Structures are given as C-alpha cells and as structure tokens.
Amino acid sequence: MAFDGRAWIEQKIREGRAIVRPVGYHIVAERLQGFASRLNACRDLGELEGFANRRKLNPALPKWNASERDAILRRKFEMENSGNERRKKK
C-alpha cells in the first residue's frame, strides 16, 4: 500500500500535532531587480567584490558602464569608511 500523505496530514491535524496556517502565510523574498537593488544588497566587501567581478565566472555577461563602475566604487568607499569616526569632524 502506498503512503497517503493527505491522510497522514489530516490525522496529525485531528491529533493537534500539526500547525495549520492560512494560505499566503509564508512570505518569499522577492528577486532583486535592477542594478541599484543588487548593489545595495551587498552586505560586505567580499560580496561587493563578487558582484563587481562577476564576469570572471561568466565572461558572456555585459561589461559595467561608467556610471555603474562609479556606483560600485562609491559603495566600496562607503563600506570601507562606514565605521571610521575619526573622519567625522565636529
């Protein structure tokens, strides 16, 4: 006899050993769309380096244009200097 998953779940619900949640309860993260959202999703310098040098893994990808390169370098500068209090003058 084959395993009946539906009957097993219904039995667990009757026994009170299953958690029942409404449809749409679980929220799935949206895919990052666009250059800016992907750039802002980089959490550390390693991720940013991988993002910036993505063509090492897939040379078929398009090259960054000048404004995208500038944005990547600006983000790198922000990450490197985010916690440096000496640079902030009162």
- The tally of CA atoms less than 13 A away on the side-chain side of residue 16 is 0
Q: Which of 89, 79, 87, 90 is nearest to 42 (CA)?
A: 79
Domain annotation covers residue 57: yes
Residue 43: inside a domain: yes
How far from 15 is each of 8, 19, 22, 47, 76, CA to CA, in Å? Answer: 11, 11, 19, 47, 55
pTM: 0.59
| Structure confidence by residue, pLDDT tens digits, 1-59 | 678 888 888 898 899 888 777 777 766 666 768 899 899 989 999 999 999 999 998 99
Q: Is residue 69 part of a domain?
A: yes
Number of domains making up the chain: 1
N-term to C-term CA, the chain: 77
Q: Is residue 39 part of a domain?
A: yes
Query: Mind listing the pLDDT tens digit for each residue in 55-72?
Result: 998 999 999 999 999 999
Residue 46 lies in a domain: yes
**Residue 51 forms part of a structural domain:** yes
Give the domain extent around 46: 34-83
